[in-house]
Structure 1
Amino acid sequence: MTASKIGTAFAQAYTERLQSGQADSGALQQLYAPEASLTLNGNRVEGSQKIAQALVESFTSGAKRKVYGVDSQELHTGGVLVSFRGEVAEPPMPFSETFVLVPVTGSHVVTNHIFNIITSN
């Protein structure tokens, strides 16, 4: 599978899990490696369980996210760099999100994740 297809599939799965409220059930946590790290608007979070918890706390279940574009590149190490941008609604706020995915048996998991709300500052 190409980096582009992996990135697009990941963006869809991630957004669906975050919006559906499945994050509470651990479905979101399964996308992350146990030692993954997240920088959420400048605040660093370590570990898949804490990341899932931080995302659930930061984004209300059912919050609408519109993804406007997904860009992906294959990394020299065999992983995939995925970047997407979009809008988190109510009120609409533009965001940028970047992930490093690494291959595991038949799939990929997130090892690094950066999320930023884009402000005019």
Structure 2
Amino acid sequence: MTANWTRVVLAGSWITLMLIYLLGDVLRIFAGHFESGKLGDRPAPGWMWTLIAAIMLVPIAMILTTLLTPEPPLRWLTISVSIALAIFNLAGMPYKGFFDNLLIVFSLGINAFIIWTVWTWETAET
């Protein structure tokens, strides 16, 4: 796979991951597993919503980062971010709905695919 094609595959993988997270959030609302202003059973302070927004921006930022960052630092950044997101998602399991757990397992598979793609990336840029 060429370096540019690998970047496209990685960017597409980050888009997929972002959409899985979004789908889970939307389904949680429609399933009634979400109460406005709360995280779980507790009221959430304002700073918590900012933190959640920052976490959700990570895969979005990685789309552009994948396309613009030179290969050597991109490899380690991608692996680090994928592992961090996987740990973050595992820490929240199990979720209330089966659909949510299914989406998280699928997102972990996407994280593994991203790591594998970067780890096996053989074409150096010139």
Check whether TM > 0.5: no
Higher strand share: 1
TM-score normalised by L of structure 2:
0.27
TM-score normalised by L of structure 1:
0.28
